[in-house]
């Protein structure tokens, strides 16, 4: 019975707080692994790059839906979709092409991991009212 109420409360919270909580937990894990000298600083910088691009992608997504509801210009929505894909792909290209000197691709992938939650919570992040 308690597990059911915990499960219900988990989805009643704001979805952006769930994403930020997951980012915080991965950050604490990365810092702990760095303190134990299991990983180096390039993983941390890759994680920061991944998280920032993820949050910027969410901002672009919210802006695209808002403009679509105001203007009904679907070409602008497609443009924002392609822009968001570029925002997600750019940190990976940076990490792969600099030979892991500054940003490690594993840290970038960990930073971009909250993208896996977007199909489940995207409607709550967008906060779309039905007209």
Largest CA distance in the chain: 54
What span, in angstroms and rounded, lies between the C-alpha atoms of 26 and 29?
5
Decide if 122 is inside a domain: no
> Considering its fold, how many domains does the chain have in total?
1
Per-residue pLDDT tens digits for 31-80? 898 889 888 888 888 888 998 998 898 889 888 888 888 888 889 989 99
pTM of the prediction?
0.76
Domain hosting 20: range is 1-117
Decide if 127 is inside a domain: no
Q: Is the pLDDT of residue 87 over 90?
A: yes
Q: With H, G, I as helix, E, B as strand and everything else as coil, classify residue 25.
A: helix
Q: Is the pLDDT of residue 11 over 80?
A: no
Model confidence band, residue 130 (pLDDT cutoffs 50, 70, 90) = low
Higher pLDDT, 125 or 97: 97
Decide if 129 is inside a domain: no
């Amino acid at each position: 019975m308690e597990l059911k109420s915990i499960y219900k409360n988990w989805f009643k919270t704001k979805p952006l707080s769930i994403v930020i909580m997951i980012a915080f937990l991965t950050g604490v894990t990365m810092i702990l692994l760095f303190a134990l000298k299991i990983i180096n600083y390039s993983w941390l910088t890759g994680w920061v790059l991944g998280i920032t691009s993820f949050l910027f992608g969410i901002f672009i997504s919210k802006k695209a839906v808002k403009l679509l509801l105001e203007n009904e210009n679907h070409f602008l929505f497609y443009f924002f979709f392609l822009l968001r894909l570029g925002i997600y792909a750019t940190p990976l290209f940076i990490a792969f092409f600099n030979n892991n000197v500054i940003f490690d691709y594993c840290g970038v992938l960990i930073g971009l991991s909250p993208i896996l939650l977007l199909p489940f919570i995207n409607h709550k992040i967008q906060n779309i009212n039905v007209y």
